[in-house]
A and B are shown apart, each in its own frame.
Chain A
Amino acid sequence: MSFTDAVYTLSPSWWRGWAGSRFLYSIAVQLDALTDLAAYAVRARFPSLAPPDADPYLSLDRGIDRGYQETRLSWLARCREWLDRWAHCGSPWGVLMAVRGVISPSLSAVTVVTPRGTWDSYADGVQDGIGVAPSHQGPGVQWFDWCSLSWPYSLPNGVLGRAVVVVWPDPDTGWSQGTRTWGDGSTWDDGGLWDVDGGTAAEFRSLLSAVATWKSGGTWVPAIVLSWSSADFSLGGVGAQPDGHYGTWSKLVTSGGRTTRVPSRYAGAAYCAGVI
């Protein structure tokens, strides 16, 4: 029973007249409002019932960041799974789910691969999630030698504890291979990216942050690769693969008696560095 009804019912007859009932109603209706608000205040903490302006707090509390174009429904579903997801923190599975969260609703192919060839992947179009483990192959199924030949990461045991994240962005990510050229009118800090069309620096910062947060504390992720061709950097792919010189941006090549410095990384992909 509402306060407005209760006050009317419980009042003596001389309060129920035209003026008395209106007087009581104008007070009791505020108590009804307070009761409703108290109920909403309790419900606001639950993802399914939270008002939209509570999203930032929900995200902070549960440590589940919303993807740059992820629907609210998808993100809320991940928020409800927060404890199950955090149980995967530090594993390739956890990293892959975090990356998929950033690029949601895209189901682009994603892989975490180690130098000694352990591949954990979600294929293009395959839904990730709790209870949907990524495919796992290796170690040694196909080495992924990122930097064994490039200073300063060429120490004998320096290949331990490393992993590279590779994303093959599909159109749903909104990202495509960069087409900018020098002198095309772009300006520094204009919000665009040199290597990626359609993306923003903020999107890639969130990608880096996701990998940094969800990887193991003992793992170094030297780069996140955005590969524009499924043939490149993939398990069994016939395209580009790292050759051990990817630790630095350039390498020395000797040809015909001349030594020249050339880019060390394949130009047909983009590389987000900075994950530690």
Chain B
Amino acid sequence: MIPSLASLIKTNTAAESLSLMLEIAADLGLSTTSWGPFGMLIAAMETMATIVSLESQSVSDIAQGGYASTAAAMTDGQGNEIATWMDLVGSEQYGVVRSPAVQAEGFVALANVGAMQGPCAAGSVHFRHPSTGATYSNTLDGEFIAAGTALAPVYVLMPVEADVAYPGSNGNAVQGVTLSMTTPFPGVSVCALGTLGSSDNLVGTDAELNFAFLARCKKKLQAISPDGADGALKYVAETPSIVALFGTVSAPITRARRWLDYATGIVWLWIANADGPALAGDVAVVQEAEQALAVPTGMDLVVAPATDSAIQVVAWIYTTGPVAGLDVLAANAVASYFASLPIGGTNLALDGVVPLSGILSAIQAVIPPAVTGVNLVTPGSNVVLGASSAVPTLATSSAFFVVRVAPP
């Protein structure tokens, strides 16, 4: 009889294996109860029981790794997802590779009020996030221009990228944050993000999580057909290696949603990245990829950016741990949560919402268990996005107030 999948996935503890060995030995007539707890025989059995237990974990892994749906759900003892098996199934069974993390990048504005002038090479100017500690470096050669004064500084926009030690959202910095320069230049200071032409946010894209990877693997199935299936359109947009064949995008497209205009027959494909709606240049690249690979003859497909739905979040955070920087971490956490939501929000059948519970969970997960409570002032309920094309982003008017409380 074929054993059930559940029995193959179940692991045996060393104690269970030892118990079974002793039971078999007793059934065979051995007087196992007389062996004593520290005897050579019991010690030998305990050693073998431990080995059997470890190997039963291997059997469990093999069984779970056989299905993409179970491989995606594999976690280690701490509840962290295991990527290796899903990577294997994704590449070997579906021919799909996990999308890697992409560093946060953007522009910071520097104000020069002194005599600092001259060129600076790419990678020679370094910055640090005041709360998260993430570090950044300039990505292109640049030049400081002197003759600025305290009353009339000269501003320079410098392209920066989070250093490799801070992949994905670890390098996020939201509007209002002022990076500090760890490569000091006399008279040069950094302006807050969102001012003087600098980027509003520096947003990285996390490596694709198991279930998002699994979903994309399944969309690949629809891409086998040349007939323009829904999943095929999304698969092309959401796969960086495919999009890269047609041009460079500013950030990987992480979300896509198809919508059919019944009146005109036009098929719309809204796309977004981790920061929100895709930029116009990115849209053009994806449109080209879709036309080449997924659009059948006769289909009118228009790729368009998703629409921005800024949500104000105001929260009081109660913590027993350090207060400094927690507000920024909470803002990053909520921004990351918004980045994980599909276009149109969840529960699409009911006008698509951003669940209140999701925002709360994101904040509470910032520093467990130091965060003891969160009072979410705004929003007060699930946020209805309304537009089918909307993606939530964190409004600049959001605020996170941190209160230190005594440990319970």
What is the interface of chain A, defined by CB distance below 8 A to chain B? 19, 22-23, 25-27, 29-31, 34, 37-38, 40-42, 44-45, 49-54, 56-58, 60-63, 82-83, 86-91, 94, 152-153, 155, 157-158, 160-161, 213-220, 276
> Do residues A54 and B260 form an inter-chain contact, with CB atoms below 8 A?
no
| Bound complex: CA A82 to CA B59 (Å) | 27
Given contacts A38-B62, A158-B263, contact A30 B28 (CB under 8 A): no
Given A51-B2, A161-B299, A217-B233, 15 more A-B residue pairs with CB atoms under 8 Å apart are: A22-B29, A27-B48, A40-B8, A41-B62, A41-B66, A50-B5, A51-B3, A53-B4, A86-B221, A86-B224, A90-B225, A157-B265, A158-B263, A216-B296, A217-B299
Q: Which residues of A contact B227 (CB under 8 A)?
A: 88-91, 94, 216
Q: Are B221 and A45 in contact (CB under 8 A)?
A: no
- Residue of A86, A91, A94, A218 with most partner-chain B CB within 10 A: A218
C-alpha gap A61/B6 in the complex (Å):
17
Name the interface size band of chain B: 35 or more
A residues within 8 A CB of B298? 218
List residues of chain A with CB within 8 A of the CB of B263: 152-153, 155, 158
**Contacts A22-B30, A27-B48, A37-B3; is A88 near B225 (CB within 8 Å)?**
yes
Q: Which residue of A lies closest to B301 (CB)?
A: A218
Is B245 at the interface (CB under 8 A from chain A)? no
A22 touches B222 (CB 8 A): no
Q: Which residues of A contact B301 (CB under 8 A)?
A: 218
Main secondary structure of the interface of B (DSSP, over half): helix
Contact between A155 and B67, CB atoms less than 8 A apart: no
Is the CB–CB distance between B20 and A30 below 8 Å? yes
A90 and B29: CB pair below 8 A?
no
Residues of B within 8 A of A276 (CB): 260
Cβ of B262 and Cβ of A90 under 8 Å apart?
A: no
**Residue B370 interfacial (CB < 8 Å):** no
Q: Which of B2, B8, B20, B25 contacts A23 (CB 8 A)?
A: B25
- For chains A and B in complex, what number of residue pairs have CB atoms within 8 angstroms? 167
Residues of B within 8 A of A30 (CB): 17, 20-21, 48, 52
A153 to B296, CA, bound (A): 23
**A218's contact among B29, B48, B267, by CB below 8 Å, is which?**
B267
- CB proximity of B25 to chain A, nearest CB, Å: 4
Knowing A30-B17, A86-B222, A158-B265 touch, does A218 contact B299 (C-beta < 8 A)?
A: yes
- Docked Cα-Cα span, A83 to B307, in Å, equals 35
